[in-house]
Structure 1
């Protein structure tokens, strides 16, 4: 799930359903390289939550590597496609239509995750939504758990779109009990382009 939305306005499910009626530019048919490296380094631990999972390529990659995975997305069509992929590929991964800014709701249902992965979801949120999402992570990630986000590098400081390591450090410092343990420059691949990006890992203390 990727793209930009007006500041202060939550992306609407039917907008993403329209995008997933075709093949969105960000749906490249395989996980972003940063997450492959995360798995290769042994930093992903089950159970894993994939926020803004889209049609499920990252979730399915993680499940194929032995992880217990739940993917969530606003778009019912994207989730339906992810479930179809899982069925046809015979991969055990679960998918749920859910708003990632309501992680507290997942916590209320008893869900807990040692790893939360975010492939270009956080970078589209408004400032208020980002704070709500960060606060919600504490409801589903126990001490020692890890949140890993890949997002376009912010190019314009007047815009909220995109991410920077400085912003993530500031937001999680305000939330208390979190530490940025890695942050590096990389790329976010799309079907027809490659954007400068950051890959950032934040651990709950």
Structure 2
């Protein structure tokens, strides 16, 4: 399930993006603290830019990319407000390039967009493989179908099945993803959630190494 940039532009333009929480994901902060983010970093589907900004603050060589021009504009303004010289570019996650330039790729809430509802993440995974150095790591934080929630939730096997030849799945464990209940979340009322509230939902955290 891949949406055109116009859809992603709209949720930034009207402020309805439920993943814009004003801070990095706690699960990503743990990865940083544990030393799993190394070398040149690509923050793919960077959205509001929270992870790119934090990694830049910590001295990492990091680039945030997103398909949506509105997301990139938001991320750049976000970084400017904080006085951080973070780098952002518009890019299609299915066409990231042909040269292995990154040691680490961070995917926070993008993989499930391609894998949801029997979607096929093959082209996306291939794109990651092309720009990741041999031995480099992809970290994926994706919404899980392990419990009720909102957003494109996926199964454990949606991740494990996507990374075959050329990859080694080193870890795939339950985690939490922090989101904001926006008016656009149509399931909010059914789940008893209050618009504007911050919730931690079920997620998967995967670490995959390129062969």
- For the aligned pair, the TM-score class normalised by the smaller chain equals 0.7 to 0.9
- For 1:104-147, what per-residue CA distance to the aligned partner results, in whole angstroms no more than 9, with x for missing partners? xx23xx56110100110110115565100111112101111000
| Residue 46 of structure 2 is aligned to residue 53 of structure 1 | yes
Q: C-alpha distance in 2, partners of 1:87/1:125? A: 31
- For 1:57-85, what per-residue CA distance to the aligned partner results, in whole angstroms no more than 9, with x for missing partners? 11111111111111111111110111122
Q: C-alpha distance in 1, partners of 2:30/2:61? A: 18
Q: 1:101·1:129 contact (CA, 8 Å) conserved in 2?
A: no
Match of 2:19 in 1: 26
Match of 1:187 in 2: 176
Q: TM-score, normalised by structure 1?
A: 0.84
> By how many angstroms is 1:89 displaced?
2.1
Q: C-alpha distance in 2, partners of 1:154/1:124? A: 13
- For 1:177-196, what per-residue CA distance to the aligned partner results, in whole angstroms no more than 9, with x for missing partners? 21111121111111232211
Name which of 151, 164, 188 aligns with 2:155: 164
Q: 2:146·2:155 contact (CA, 8 Å) conserved in 1?
A: no
Name which of 5, 9, 13 aligns with 1:17: 9
Describe the SS at the equivalent of 2:102. coil
Unaligned runs of 5+ in 2: 181-196
Moved more, 32-41 or 123-132: 123-132
Match of 1:116 in 2: 105
| Residue 114 of structure 2 is aligned to residue 125 of structure 1 | yes
Q: C-alpha distance in 1, partners of 2:75/2:120? A: 25
Match of 1:3 in 2: none
Aligned length, in residue pairs: 187
1:54-203 counterparts in 2 under 5 A? 54-103=47-96, 106-107=97-98, 110=99, 112-126=101-115, 129-154=120-145, 161-173=152-164, 176-191=165-180, 192=197, 193-203=199-209
Q: TM-score, normalised by structure 2?
A: 0.82
Unaligned runs of 5+ in 1: 1-6
> 4+ residue stretches of structure 1 with deviation over 4 A?
126-129
